[in-house]
Amino acid sequence: MTAETAGRTAGTPERRREQRGWYFYDFACSVYSTSVLTVFVGPYLTSVAKAAADADGFVHPLGVPVRAGSVFAYAVSLSVVLALLVMPPAGAVADRTGRKKPLLAVSAYVGAAATAGLFFLEGERYLLGAFLLIVANASLAVSMMLYNAYLPQIAEPKERDAVSSRGWAFGYTSGALVLVLDLVLYTGHDSFGLSEGEAVRICLASAGLWWGAFTVVPLRRLRDRGVTPGGEGAVGSGRRQLMATLRDMRRHPLTLSFLLAYLVYNDGVQTVISQASVYGSEELGLDQTTLITAVLLVQVLAVAGALGMGRLARSYGAKRTILGSLAVWTLILTAGYFLPAGAPVWFFALAAAIGLVLGGSQALSRSLFSHLVPRGKEAEYFSAYEMSDRGLSWLGPLVFGLAYQLTGSYRDAIISLAIFFGLGFALLARVPVRRAVAAAGNPVPDRI
pLDDT tens digits for range 229-244: 544 444 554 456 667 7
- Work out the pLDDT band at 169, boundaries 50, 70, 90: confident
Tens of pLDDT, residue by residue over 202-238, are 999 999 999 999 999 999 999 887 665 544 444 554 4
Q: Is the pLDDT of residue 386 over 60?
A: yes
- Work out the pLDDT band at 388, boundaries 50, 70, 90: low
d(CA 231, CA 175): 37
Contact residues for 145 (Cβ-Cβ < 8 A; gap 6+) = 87, 90, 91, 379, 382, 383, 385, 386
Contact residues for 264 (Cβ-Cβ < 8 A; gap 6+) = 420, 423, 424, 427
Query: Which of 297, 414, 400 shows the shortest CA–CA distance to 354?
Result: 297
Q: Is the pLDDT of residue 18 over 80?
A: yes
Q: Is the pLDDT of residue 245 over 80?
A: no
201 versus 392: the higher-pLDDT residue is 201
* Residues 118 and 41 sit within 8 Å (Cβ to Cβ): yes
The vertex-387 CA angle with 381 and 392, nearest 5°, equals 160
Alpha helix (H) ranges present in 287-441? 288-316, 318-337, 344-371, 378-386, 395-407, 410-415, 418-429, 433-439
Tens of pLDDT, residue by residue over 31-55, are 998 899 888 898 899 999 999 999 8
Mean pLDDT (the chain) is 85
d(CA 97, CA 232): 8
What b/e sequence results for 411-444 when a residue is b if at least 16 CB atoms lie within 10 Å of its CB, and e otherwise?
bebbbbbbbbbbbbbebbeebebbebbebbebee
Within 13 Å and on the Cβ side, how many CA atoms surround 48? Answer: 23
Amino acid identity, position 448: I
Contact residues for 274 (Cβ-Cβ < 8 A; gap 6+) = 37, 38, 42, 73, 76, 391, 397
230 versus 108: the higher-pLDDT residue is 108
* Residues 169 and 300 sit within 8 Å (Cβ to Cβ): no
d(CA 296, CA 175): 8
- Work out the pLDDT band at 8, boundaries 50, 70, 90: very low
pLDDT of residue 95: 80
Residue 216 CB neighbour total at 10 angstroms: 13
Q: Is the pLDDT of residue 159 over 80?
A: yes
pLDDT of residue 234: 47
Tens of pLDDT, residue by residue over 120-140, are 999 989 999 999 999 999 999
State the Cα torsion 128-129-131-133 to the nearest 10°.
160
- Work out the pLDDT band at 382, boundaries 50, 70, 90: confident
